[in-house]
């Protein structure tokens, strides 16, 4: 019987400078679904993603990709399965957007050989899939934040991996570009069956796009499941320390979370 688990984590712990950052994490992720990892700052979200991506090498028999220990993969073989988009992206290079996307083909290019037509075709396909084809000849440093982020996602897509990891892909973007990025990711998830694990801060974005959410606090997973089954006032109060109201989006029925401020103003505002 085919294993539908794209990723499984068993008892993952991590300590740095005497600080216990991850505490015996165990969970699994099904193939082809969109997962958001949410939680307050310092809860271990990025550290978890860095272990899955092997930027922090986990211990043996802890993280498994389709049943195989991640430590048993060669570097290029792992890169053909898992793509990673970090928070910080070096923009000091002078490459064009297409050059950056083509770098995603590195696991497939043999030593002392250049990219072949197939690699170029796949890079162009990745740019079309992320709506970046029209900026392929522009310098990466001259692009807007949203354009640059979509180019980096295109580079990850060019790796043709089954699992895409993203650490706060909408950070520092305006609302238009946030929606643009999240729509692109959801389309990739639906159209190509890519399993997506995405660290997010905005709970409403997580509710809107996720099949499942992973809620973290203090290095633990507090809960994991469908947004409408997991996210409630009590859990959010426990994890974030704030009171919220939860209503249904009148357009699509998804949860919409409204934080309740403790500040009370006597001012009256005319919004008409």
pLDDT value at position 71? 94
pLDDT tens digit sequence for 92-131: 678 999 999 999 999 999 887 888 999 999 999 999 999 9
Q: What domains sit in the chain, N to C, each tagged with a CATH number?
A: 1-81+161-232 (3.40.50.300), 92-160 (no CATH)
3-state secondary structure of 187: helix
Please state which of the ranges 14-23, 86-95, 205-214, 225-234 shows the lowest mean pLDDT: 86-95
- Which pLDDT score is estimated for 268? 62
Q: Is the pLDDT of residue 27 over 70?
A: yes
| Mean model confidence pLDDT for the chain | 91
How many helices and strands, by DSSP H and E, does the chain display? 9, 12
Give the Cα separation of 146 and 169 in Å (integer).
9
CA distance 98 to 138: 8
Q: C-alpha angle with apex 148: 126 to 114, nearest 5 degrees? A: 50
As given in the structure block, the two tokens for residue 117 are 């037509």
Least confident of 81-95, 117-131, 187-201: 81-95
Distance, in Å, from the CA atom of 182 to the CA atom of 27, rounded to the nearest integer, reads 24
For the chain, the C-alpha Rg in angstroms (whole number) is: 20
Residue 38 bridge partners (DSSP): 215
Rounded average pLDDT over 126-154: 93
Residue percentage of the chain with pLDDT more than 70: 94
Local confidence band at 265 (pLDDT 50, 70, 90 cut-offs)? low
């Amino acid at each position: 019987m085919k294993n539908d688990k794209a990723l499984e984590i068993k008892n993952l712990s991590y300590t740095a400078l005497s600080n216990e950052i991850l505490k015996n994490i165990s969970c699994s992720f099904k193939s082809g679904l969109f997962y958001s990892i949410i939680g307050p700052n310092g809860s271990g979200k990025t550290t978890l993603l860095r272990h899955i991506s092997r930027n922090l090498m986990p211990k043996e028999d802890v993280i498994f990709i389709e049943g195989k220990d991640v430590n048993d993969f060669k570097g290029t073989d792992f890169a053909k399965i898992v793509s990673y988009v970090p928070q910080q992206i070096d923009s000091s290079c002078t490459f064009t957007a297409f050059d950056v996307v083509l770098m995603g083909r590195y696991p497939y290019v043999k030593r002392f050989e250049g990219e072949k037509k197939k690699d170029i075709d796949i890079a162009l396909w990745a740019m079309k899939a992320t709506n970046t084809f029209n900026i392929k000849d522009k310098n990466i440093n001259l692009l807007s934040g949203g354009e640059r982020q979509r180019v980096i996602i295109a580079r990850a897509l060019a790796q043709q991996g089954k699992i895409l990891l993203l650490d706060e892909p909408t950070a520092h973007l305006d609302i238009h570009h946030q929606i643009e990025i999240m729509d692109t990711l959801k389309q990739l998830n639906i159209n190509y069956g890519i399993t997506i694990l995405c660290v997010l801060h905005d709970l409403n974005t997580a509710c809107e796009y996720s099949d499942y959410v992973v809620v973290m606090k203090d290095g633990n997973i507090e809960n994991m499941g469908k947004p409408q089954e997991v996210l409630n006032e009590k859990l959010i109060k426990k994890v974030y320390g704030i009171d919220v109201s939860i209503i249904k989006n009148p357009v699509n029925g998804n949860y919409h979370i409204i934080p309740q401020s403790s500040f009370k103003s006597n001012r009256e505002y005319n919004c008409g």
